[in-house]
Amino acid sequence: MRRTGHHRQFARQGGGGGLKGLVLKLSVAVIVLLICTVSLLFLSANTTSSKSNYRSEINIEELWGSADSGGWRPSSAPRSHWPPPPTESNGYLRVRCNGGLNQQRSAICNAVLAARIMNATLVLPELDANSFWHDDSGFHGIYDVEHFIKTLRYDVRIVESIPEIHKNGKKKKIKAAQLRPPRDGPVSWYTSVALEKMKEHGAIYLTPFSHRLAEEIDNPEYQRLRCRVNYHALRFKPHIMKLSQSIVDKLRAQGHFMSIHLRFEMDMLAFAGCLDIFTPNEQKILSKYRKENFADKTLIYKERRAIGKCPLTPEEVGLILHALGFDNSTRIYLAAGELFGGDRFMKPFRALFPRLDNHSTVESSDELVENTRGLAGSAVDYMVCLLSDIFMPTYDGPSNFANNLLGHRLYYGFRTTIRPDRKALAPIFIDRENGRQAGFEEAVRQVMLNTNFGGPHKRVSPESFYTNSWPECFCQITPDNPANKCPPNDVLDILNNQLEREAANNSKLTISAAER
C-alpha cells in the first residue's frame, strides 16, 4: 500500500515539473524548427545565386550568344585614389619573361604591377627566345610598343632601354643588379629586398620572371592594373590583328563558328603521363621527352585517366560536342600545334565534324606563311579564339593559352566557353570503352549542365586570376553593393588632368630653381 501510495504521490509531485518540462521541450523544438527553416531558406537562396549561371537544359542557339552577365560589365579603371607615377622613380626595373606567348603575357602584367609597387621605371620587358618556338622576335615583334606605353602612362613610366647617365664628364650606362625573385613572391619582397637593391644600384634585373608575383593580392586596384595591362595595353602588332580579323571574317561569312584549343600535343601528353594509348615507339618518344623536360615522377596511366588528368582525345572532344547537340554542320577552328600520334586520332573527330579549319586552311596566302611563324602564329590563334562565338579548351590545367583566353573572353563580354569537367567525364568515357554505352550522351549532358558557360562566377583555387578576374575587374551600373558600382565614364580624363597638373607643377619648380 505504501509503495502504491508513494508512487501516486511521486506522480503528483512530478506532474507540474513534467508539464513544465514538456513546455520547455516544445519551446526548444519550435526554436530549432525556426532555425532550420531560416537556414534552409538561406541555403536555398545561396544555392540559387551560385547556380544562377548554370542551365537546366542546353540550348545550342543560346550557346552561340554570350553568357548571362547578371548585370555585370568589364571595367578595370581605378575606383579609388590612384595618383599618376611620380616624376622621380626609385630606379629602373628590367625583367626577362620566360615561357611561351601566354606565360610571357602574364609575366608582363606582373612586371607592370611590380614597377608600380616599387615606384620604378619599367624597361620594356624582354621576351625569352623561346626554346619551343625558337622565336627571338621580342616585344617589338609581337606587340604594339607605342600603344603599350601610351595606355599605361597613368600607371607606370616605361622606357625602351635604360638610358645612359653623365658622370664625371663621361657617359655611363647603369648596370642592373641581377636578382632571382621567389616564385609567387609577396608584395613585401618587392617593397623590401628588390627595392633595397634598386636603390643601391639604380636598376635591377629580375630573371627568370614567370609566376614571380603572387596572383592573389588583397588590393583590388593592383588587380585592376593587371587587367588594364592584359586586356587594354597588350595589343598585338597591326599585321597580326589584320590577319586574325581576316580569318575571323572568312569563318563568320558562313555563319557561327567555334574555336577549340586541342591540347593533344607531345609536351602536354608527356607532362600528364598519359602514354598507354600510344604505340610502343610513340611511348618511347613521350617518355624521353618527359625525362628531359619534367621532374622524375612515377605516373600510372589508369590512375591519371580516372581523375581527369589526361588531355581529352580528339574523339572524346567530338563525342562531348555531339552529346550537347552540335551536328556535322558545325564549323570548327582548331588552335593547336602538331597533334601527336598521327591522323588516326583525328579520324573519329573528323567523321563527326568534317568542317574543321586552322589558320592555314582558312587563309593560305604568302602573308599568312610569313606572319604565322613562332609566337606570331600563336598570337593569330589567340585572336581567332578570342573573337570566336564559342571557345572550348580541352586541357585547361597548366595550359596558359587556354587559361588566359578564358579570362579574356570573360572580360570581353562573357563570351560563351565550354569547359569539359574531365574528372566527372572520365568514368563515363571509361564505361563506354568497356562496352557500357547505354545512356552515354545523357550522362555527358548532365555533367556539362553543372559547368559554367562563361558567365560571372566566384574564383576558387586553383583557378587563376588571369582565368577569372571577376569581380575585381567588373562593375555594375545598378549595384546591390556600392563597392561594385561602375566608375564614371570620364575616369581617363580625370587621370589625364592629374598628369597635366603634375607636369605643370614640375615645370614651375624647374623655373623657380633656375631663377634662384
- What percent of the chain has pLDDT above 90? 62
Kindly tell me if the per-residue pLDDT of 515 is higher than 60: no
Q: Dihedral sign, CA of 123, 127, 129, 134?
A: negative
Q: Give the per-residue pLDDT at 25.
A: 46
pLDDT at 6 over 50: no
478-506 b/e with 16+ CB inside 10 Å = b?
eeeeeebebbeeebeeebeeeeeeeeeee
pLDDT beyond 70 at 305: yes
The closest of 79, 80, 74, 78 to 474, measured between CA atoms, is 74
pLDDT at 504: 61
Instruction: Give the side-chain half-sphere CA count within 13 A for 388.
Output: 31
Residue 3 predicted with pLDDT over 50: no
Cell 574564383 belongs to residue: 459
User: Which stretch of 109-123, 325-339, 356-370 has the lowest confidence by average pLDDT?
Assistant: 356-370
The residue-averaged pLDDT of 164-183 equals: 85
Give the residues across from 96 on adjacent strands. Answer: 126
Residue 516, pLDDT > 50, answer no
Residues 6+ apart with CB under 8 A from 57: 449
| Res. 340: pLDDT tops 80 | yes
Question: Cα(506)–Cα(432) distance, rounded to whole angstroms?
Answer: 72
> pLDDT-based confidence at 57, cuts 50/70/90?
confident
Residue by residue, DSSP assigns 97-138 as E-SSHHHHHHHHHHHHHHHHHHT-EEE-PEEP-BTTTTB--H
> What stretches of 51-194 show up as alpha helix (H) in DSSP?
60-63, 101-118, 138-142, 145-151, 187-189
Q: And the C-alpha cell for 161? A: 632601354
- Highest mean pLDDT of the ranges 8-22, 401-415, 449-463: 401-415
User: pTM for this one?
Assistant: 0.82
Given pLDDT bands bounded at 50, 70 and 90, which one contains residue 370? low
- For residues 93 and 206, is the Cβ–Cβ distance under 8 A? yes
> pLDDT tens, 80-110?
899 999 889 999 999 999 888 889 999 999 9
Distance CA 167, CA 170 (A): 5
Separation between Cα atoms, residue 472 and residue 8, nearest integer Å? 73
pLDDT above 90 (res 226): yes
**Whether residue 198 has pLDDT greater than 90:** yes
Q: Give the whole-angstrom CA distance, residue 220 versus residue 473.
A: 8
- How far, in Å, CA of 159 to CA of 59, rounded? 50
CB environment 213-234: b (16+ within 10 A), e (fewer):
bbbebeeeeebbbbbbbbbebb
370 vs 14, higher pLDDT: 370
How high does pLDDT run on average in the chain?
84
Query: What tens digit of pLDDT does each residue of 206-219 get?
Result: 999 989 999 999 99
β-partners of residue 356 are 332
- Angle at which helix 220-228 crosses helix 101-118, to 10 degrees, equals 130
What per-residue confidence (pLDDT) applies to 496? 63
Q: What is the dihedral of CA 175, 176, 178, 180, to 10 degrees?
A: -170
Other Cβ atoms within 10 Å of 307 Cβ, number = 11
Taking 80 as the threshold, does the pLDDT of residue 285 lie above it?
yes
For 405-424, how does the pLDDT look when each residue is reduced to its tens digit (9 = 90+)?
A: 999 999 999 999 999 999 99
Q: Kindly state the average pLDDT of the residues 227-236.
A: 96
Strands 390-393 and 203-206: unpaired
Question: What is the pLDDT at residue 419?
Answer: 94
